[in-house]
Amino acid sequence: MSDQLQRSDVSAHEKWDLTHIYADMSQWEEDYERAQALSREAAAFQDNIHDAEGLLAYLKLDEQLSFVYEKLFVYASLKQDEDTRVTEAQAYLDKARSLGVTIKSATSFFRPFLLNMEKETLDRYIAEEQGLDYFKKDLYEEFKYKPHVLSKEKEEVLSQLGEVISVPKTVFGMINNADIQFGEVTDENGNKTTLTRGMYSRILESHNRERRAEAFKAYYKPYVGLKNTIASTLGASAKNNVLFSKMRNYESPLQRSLFADNVPVSVYENLIQTTRDHLGPMYRYVDYRQKRLGLDELRVYDLSVPLVEDFELEKPYDEAYETMLAGLAPLGDEYINGLKQARTSGWIDVRETQGKRSGAYCWGPYGTHPYVLLNHNNTLDSMFTLAHEMGHAMHSYLSDAHQPRISAQYTIFVAEVASTVNEVLLIHYLLNHSTDAKLKRYLVNHFIDTIKGTFFTQVMFAEFEKIVHEKAMRGEALTADSFSETYESLFRTYNGEQVVLDPELKYGWSRIPHFYNAFYVYKYATGIASAISIATRILDGDQETVQSYLTFLKSGGSEYPLELLRRTGVDLLTPEPITGLLSLFDRLVGELEST
């Protein structure tokens, strides 16, 4: 830890500038007091909205309150992530969280009030008060939930059950993050050391097979030991989803989950079926991997080893940024100029420093600009992370610049499209501008493994969730054995019979946090399929796609996600985007096989 940089060691142009949100903490405190006052004003509207004028007054106040709170919360979060050891920053974040609870309580009356209103009354209010036009789309959007809202008394009971309902997810989180104790493994020097998650992923990429096998066993051992406890949390989570879907008059938990995005169940089912129909290239890749590694049999812990040995490419941050700009040039001057502005205007926090939050993300309040957290370490992977996060940043930047606050926020369904388009464009640029055969083979392998992890694995997870919830709907037992039987069968289907399955593998379901946010992971798969469709046409020089894609980035959440994507030429109601990705995967495997 001592060799890590201190924040004070990093030059100003490689740190984000949070003064763009608040010049100092006194301004934060002023907004905090303001938000508290606005919250009290919002609460006073309960039972006091009787006409169009009153409705408009509340909605304007609510938007103002939401705007101020977003700034407070984002600032406190970003400040804490600079150095998670600073207790003052944690205190401000705690204050912001408490304020959020207060605001939620103060405004919780409005949705039941609106949904108890007759549509004719809302029509009349909107006709009478021109200012309501701004809120009209969102107001009518709420009405689609009317068949799924219960009586006021029942809704109050459900709201009070919120903490109880979240117990399965909370318990699993405590098990997975606080209580799990992994076994010991042998380090590079032959000494025994306790395995960590970060160490596990690195060891699985090691060319020392004995270490990989040892790490695999040590990683899965606590999950196998807790299989029945974790099965009870996952089973309870699925049963909760079934219960509340029934109570709210949805056909299934899946339909309930897709309802907000206006996505038909057929999109989910089409994703699974189309993928199942085109698994041949995946089996070929697994065969190639076994031959390339020179193994008599392929095990699960052999699936992450890079197929190009001893390959390292140093990419310092400035060089990585220039390479990214060159790779994304097909998107045009407006996009590239935005990226150049981000680099010099305090958007990006570049370096790994002591106490800084790990990983990478993009976030920012409306009315300022996006902020990007990186932990850049000059590797090729760091460059792809940079391109990925800047895709999110430009999506938010262009959306905020062209949409009013009410429609600027895009949904999770389309969030990964912009980031993945950047990655695809960058990898094609590197492939087309390299004469190093080893680098090209590494990049093709990287691309294949990206698709494998972001698409095939997520579709497998999506099918697992679907089967589990269908069992719950039929009242079948949800036990460790039933989960394991389903998971092992799906793993064989999606990875091929040639992978020899260690007995621990079937408990893979027990380590996936996403399963407690049901029917979420499929969006990773539709996201990468959509991005590959768009990027492929851009690389073919289709200027119409470039323009429609930029329009998509500027559209925020102004339409449902399927409609936004359809305007870019991606129709997820058909199999084409999925088959397009699968065809690309087939070609990439062919390229690898020919080397």
| DSSP letters spanning 503-524 | GGGGGGGGG-GGGGSTT-THHH
- Give CA–CA dist 178/381, Å, rounded: 29
For residue 219, how far is the Cα from the chain centroid?
24
Output 592 or 310, whichever has higher pLDDT: 592
Strand, helix or coil for residue 330: helix
In terms of Cβ atoms closer than 10 Å to its own Cβ (0-12, 13-18, 19+), residue 53 is: middle
Q: Where are the domains of the chain?
A: 8-163
**Are 222 and 181 spatial neighbours (Cβ–Cβ below 8 Å)?**
yes
| Amino acid 595: pLDDT | 78
Specify the CATH superfamily of domain 8-163: Oligopeptidase f, N-terminal domain (1.20.140.70)
| Euclidean distance between CA atoms 15 and 346, whole angstroms | 6
CA neighbor of 313 nearest in space, from 396, 434, 422, 228: 434
- 241 has pLDDT over 50: yes
Higher-confidence residue of 485 and 439: namely: 485
Within 380-509, strands assigned E span: 499-500
Confidence at residue 375, expressed as pLDDT on a 0 to 100 scale:
92
pLDDT at 86: 87
pLDDT at 34 over 90: yes
Under the phi-then-psi rule, with left for phi > 0, alpha for psi from -120 to 50, and beta for the rest, what region is 369?
beta
Which residues are known catalytic residues? 389
* CA-to-CA dists, residue 476 to 109, 464, 469, 486, angstroms: 38, 15, 10, 13
Instruction: Name the residue among 278, 223, 271 with its Cα closest to residue 465.
Output: 271
Give 185's strand partners: 193
Q: How far is CA 89 from the centre of its chain?
A: 25
Q: What is the pLDDT of residue 1?
A: 39
Q: 522 with 268: CB under 8 angstroms?
A: yes
Confidence of residue 155 (pLDDT cuts 50, 70, 90): confident
- Which pLDDT score is estimated for 540? 95
- The candidate with the shortest Cα–Cα distance to 230, out of 24, 552, 516, is 516
* pLDDT of res. 128: 96
pLDDT value of position 310: 67
**In the structure, what pLDDT confidence band is assigned to residue 3 with cuts at 50, 70 and 90?**
low
Residue 514 CA to residue 238 CA, distance in Å, equals 12
Give the whole-angstrom CA distance, residue 390 versus residue 550: 14
Distance CA 431, CA 54 (A): 60
Q: Say if residue 445 is exposed, middle or buried (CB neighbours under 10 Å; 0-12, 13-18, 19+).
A: buried
Look up residue 577 and give its two tokens.
């985007």
Ramachandran quadrant class, 560 (left: phi over 0; alpha: psi -120 to 50; beta: rest): beta
pLDDT of residue 160: 74
Q: How far apart are CA 203 and CA 216, in angstroms?
A: 9
**7: number of Cβ within 10 Å:** 15
Whether 491 and 469 have beta carbons less than 8 Å apart is answered as no
pLDDT band (50, 70, 90) for residue 211: very high
Identify the CA nearest to 535 among candidates 451, 445, 459: 451
Question: Of 75 and 176, which is predicted with more confidence?
Answer: 75
Per-residue pLDDT tens digits for 219-230: 999 999 999 999
Alpha helices in 129-208 (DSSP H): 136-143, 152-160, 162-165, 167-174, 197-204
Dist CA 29 CA 92 (whole Å): 9
Residue 426 · residue 391 · CB < 8 Å: no
Across 68-77, 178-187, 397-406, least confident range: 178-187
Backbone angles phi, psi at 359, to 5 degrees: 80, -155
Cβ-Cβ contacts under 8 Å for 368 (sequence gap 6 or more) = 20, 21, 71
For residues 293 and 373, what is the distance between their CA atoms, to the nearest angstrom? 36
Question: Confidence class of residue 2 from pLDDT cuts 50, 70 and 90?
Answer: very low
- pLDDT at residue 196, as a whole number: 87
Give dist(CA 319, CA 301) in Å, integer: 34
In whole angstroms, give the CA distance from residue 507 to residue 220: 8
Alpha-carbon gap, residue 244 to 385, rounded angstroms? 38
Q: Cβ contacts of residue 501 below 8 Å, gap of 6+?
A: 300, 488, 491, 492
Helix (H) or strand (E) holding 190: none
Strand-by-strand arrangement of the 361-363 sheet:
348-351, 371-376, 361-363
The confidence score (pLDDT) of residue 568 equals 97
Helices (H), 312-411: 317-327, 333-344, 380-402, 405-408
- Work out the mean pLDDT of the chain and round it to a whole number: 94
**Percentage of residues of the chain with pLDDT beyond 90:** 83
